[in-house]
Chain A
Amino acid sequence: MTPLLETRDVGKTFGSVVALRGVSMTVERGGVTCVLGDNGAGKSTLIKILSGVHAPDSGTYLVDGEPVRFGSPREALDRGIATVYQDLAMIPLMSVWRNFFLGSEPPARGPSRALGGFDVATAKRVAREELRRMGIDIRDVDQPVGTLSGGERQSVAIARAVHFGARVLILDEPTSALGVKQAGVVLRYIAQARDRGLGVVFITHNPHHAYPVGDRFLLLNRGAGLGEYGKADIGRDELTSLMAGGAELDELAHELRRTDTPS
C-alpha cells in the first residue's frame, strides 16, 4: 500500500544554516508516526515542510505516492493535510461551536442565506456530534473555548481538523504543555483519529508520550535523522536513551559526579 505521506532525503537550508538534511519518513493510513527530537533538532522545520509552509531544498516529498511541491499551507490542506499547532488557532472568548466552524460556517437554509446567514442550529448539532464521535466529552458546546482545559482544547482542534476532511493530521507538540492526565486525554484522541483511518504525525520530545501510541519513530538530532524505527525494532528504553542522547547523558553524569578529592 502506498503511504499517505513520504519524504525521501529531504533537506532545508536557511542561508548558511542547515536546518534539516537527509530526513526520510513515512506516514501510513491508520498509523501514527512520531517525530522525536530535542530543541533545535529540526522538528519544526520538518513540520513546516510537511504542512506546506516551506518547500524542501533537496529530496522529495510525496503525497499518495506522487511528488508534490506545496506553495502554501492552503494547498496542503486541500490535499487533506491539516496541522494543529501548539498555539491552536482558537479564539478563547468564543464558544466551542463558533470556534469549530470559524471560517467554514454552514450557510443558513431559507432567505437569510443570501445575506450571509449562518445555520446556527446545524453548527451546534454537528459540533456536538463530531466531538462525541471522537469520544470527547465536552459538557456544553456553548461554553467559551477559554474555559476548556489545555487537553480539551487540543481535542477540539483535532476534532475540527478531522471533520473538515483531514486525512493526515500533523500535531505539533500537542502534549508538551499539559499535565500527565491531560496528556493522556490527548493521546487517547490521537488513537481515535488513527482508528478512524487517518495518518498522524505526532511531534514530541517526550518518548513516554510517543511510545504508547506510535507505530513508527523518527529520531532527529541536530537536523539529521537518526533513523526511522518500527515499533517492533525498538523498545521504550532504547528510544528514551536514544532520545536523551544516551552517550551524552553518561558523559553529563560523569561530569556532575561529586569529586571526592579537592583539587
Chain B
Amino acid sequence: MTAVTGDERVADPGRLRRLLIRPELGSVVGAIVVFAFFSGQSAVFRSVDGVANWLDPASTLGVMAVAIALLMIGGEFDLSAGVLTGTCGLVLVTLATRAGWNVWAAMLAGLAVALLVGFVNGLLVVRTKLPSFIVTLGTFLMLQGLNLGVTKALTGTVQVSGLRHAAGYDGARAVLAGSVTLGGTGFRVAILWWVAVTALATWVLTRTRAGNWVFAVGGNEQAARAVGVPAARVKIALFMTTAGAAWLVGSILALRFTSVQANAGIGQEFIFIIAAVIGGCLLTGGYGSPVGAAIGAVIFGMADKGIVFAGWDADWFKFFLGAMLLLATLANRLVRRYAEEVRR
C-alpha cells in the first residue's frame, strides 16, 4: 500500500471518461457531422471561401453564445440579449446620424445603455428572486416596444440608416466590421473578436476566483453563499457581461450594414441559448463551457450557410435548429450519466 494505490482504479476507464465528461464533446461531434454532411453536398462549402462565409454568422452568434454560456453556468437565462443587440445598434446609429455624434462616442453611449439594462436585469433577478426567465422576458418585451416606438417617433419609419456618413465611421468599421485578407480570401474581423471573447471567457471561468464563483452560484447558490461567495454580485456581473456582449455584436452589425431595423435581434435569444446548450451547458446551471458554446455557434453558422450552398429552401433552417437542440440535450445527458457511472 503506497500513496499511488488510488491511481490504479482510474487508469483506463479514466482516460476515456475524462474525454467523455468534457462538456464540449457533444458540440465537437456535432460540428464534425454537420461539416461532413454539407461538404458532401457542396464543394464550395468546404473551400476556403466557403469557410470564411460560414464563419461570419458563426462569429457574431458565437460572441453572444459564449456570454450566454457564462450566464447559464451561473444558473440564469437572458431572453433580452437578442433584442438588446438591436437596441445598442439603434442607439449607435441614431446618435451618430440624428445628433451628429462621433461614432466612437455613440458606441460608448450604446455600451452605457447595455450595461444599464444588464444591471437592471441582474438586480431584479437577485432582489425579487423571480426566475430570470420571467424577468428577462419582461425586459425583452419592454425593449422590443421601446426599439419600435422610439425609432418610429424619431424617423417615421422602422429603421435608422446613414451611418456611413458619420464622423469616425471608417475607423470604427475597420476595428469592428472590417475584413482581413488571408491567402486571397477575406475574413471578417468579427471572427477575431469571437476568438478573443471565447479565450477571455475560458480564462476567467477556469483560472480566476470569479470563475470558480460562477460555477458555484449556478451549481448550488445556498452552499456558495455559505462559504462566503458574493452570489448577488456574481449574478449581476454575469447579466452585465451578457449585455456587454450584446453591445459588441450590435455595434459590429450596425457598422457593417450602416443601418439598423427596429426589430433587429428579435428571435436570436433562443439561438444563443441553443448554441450554449449544444456546447454542453446544463439548463439547470453549474456546468458548461465557453469553447463548447463557440463551437455550437459554428454548427449554426455552417447550417445557416450550408442550406443555401446545398441549394435548399432556407425555411429548413428552423427545423434543423429544433432537431439539433433535442439531439444535443439528449446526448449531453447520456454522456454525463455514463461518465458518472464509470466513476463509481
Contacts and interface: CB of A to CB of B under 8 A. Distances in A.
A102 B224 contact: yes
Nearest to B285: A93
A91 B286 CA distance: 9
A93 B6 CA distance: 21
B211 A118 contact: yes
| Majority DSSP secondary structure for residues of B touching A | helix
A99 to B, nearest CB: 8
Interface string B159-172: 00000000000000
Nearest to A145: B219
Given A118-B208, A137-B6, A91 B219 contact: yes
Which of A93, A117, A140, A147: most chain B Cβ within 10 A?
A93
A101 interface: yes
Given A89-B226, A103-B229, A132-B3, A139 B10 contact: yes
Interface residues of A, number: 32
A88 interface: yes
A107 B219 CA distance: 22
Contacts of A117: 207-209
A66 to B, nearest CB: 26
Contacts of A62: none
A124 to B, nearest CB: 12
A176 interface: no
A138 B227 CA distance: 22
Contacts of B209: 105, 107, 116-118
Interface residues of B, number: 33
Nearest to A148: B343
A-side interface mostly: loop
B207 A89 contact: no
B215 A90 contact: no
A13 interface: no
B49 interface: no
Contacts of A116: 208-210
A92 B212 contact: no
Contacts of B206: 120
Given A117-B207, A138-B6, A93 B340 contact: no
Interface centre among A103, A132, A142, A144 (most CB of B within 10 A): A103
Interface in A85-115: 87-94, 98, 101-105, 107-108, 112, 115
Contact of A139 (B6, B210, B226): B6
A165 interface: no
Interface of B: 3, 5-7, 9-10, 14, 18, 206-213, 215-216, 219-220, 222-224, 226-229, 282, 286-287, 340, 343-344
Given A102-B213, A120-B207, A139-B10, 12 more contacts: A91-B219, A94-B219, A98-B212, A101-B212, A102-B227, A102-B229, A103-B229, A104-B228, A116-B210, A117-B208, A137-B5, A140-B14
Interface of A: 87-94, 98, 101-105, 107-108, 112, 115-118, 120, 132, 137-140, 142-144, 146-147
